[in-house]
Amino acid sequence: MALPDRIVPLCDLLLGAAHADKELRPSELAEVRGVLEDLAGALTPELAQRIDTFDPKAFDLARTAAAFQADSADDRRRLLFLVAAVNDADDEVDFAEDEYLRALAAALDLPATALDGLVVDVEVEELRETFTRVRKGPPPPPGKKRESVDVDLD
């Protein structure tokens, strides 16, 4: 995997992860910068400018991930680990960040098992059923219905 040749799309993938929950935190930004410095040897002025001017609304995950499509499955999975490190930098579990990681895995044509240990698995259907039961509340107690009483407060 020739990262220096593709450091810009990697930068964008990491920044996409940092912005996934719509809240860029200093710890996430520091993680992005640290990963890029480690991989590129130094944070070039061009990369620093790219970080400063990144527009999450204009970011296209599938198009950016395509730069890594021909890599081996192991190398593509390594990208997931780099993105997961950015997600973990704010010490919060966020479903939007998990969804970003899942979308990246799909864009990289990786199997669901590539996400093992990287995302939170929640049984959504089970949660919906539980919520529906709780929302309805218990049935009224059996017994004789009382007639309504009109109370005059005057």
More confident residue, 97 or 119: 97
72: in domain: yes
- With respect to residue 35, please indicate whether it lies within any of the assigned structural domains: yes
Q: Which two tokens stand for residue 31?
A: 């993680």
Query: Does 75 map to a domain?
Result: yes
> How many structural domains comprise the chain?
1
In a domain, residue 121? The reply is no
CB 21 within 8 A of CB 88: no
Q: What is the CATH number of the domain that holds 9?
A: 1.10.3680
% of the chain beyond a pLDDT of 70:
76
Q: Does the residue 49 lie in any domain?
A: yes
In the prediction, which pLDDT does 8 show?
A: 93
In a domain, 71, yes or no: yes
Q: In the predicted model, is pLDDT for residue 69 greater than 70? A: yes
The domain in which residue 11 lies consists of 3-114
Instruction: Identify which has the larger pLDDT, 108 or 126.
Output: 108
pTM beyond cutoff 0.75? no
Cα separation of 105 and 82, whole Å? 12
Residue 128: inside a domain: no
**28-57 pLDDT tens trace:** 999 999 999 998 888 889 999 999 999 999
Provide the token pair at 97.
């960040």
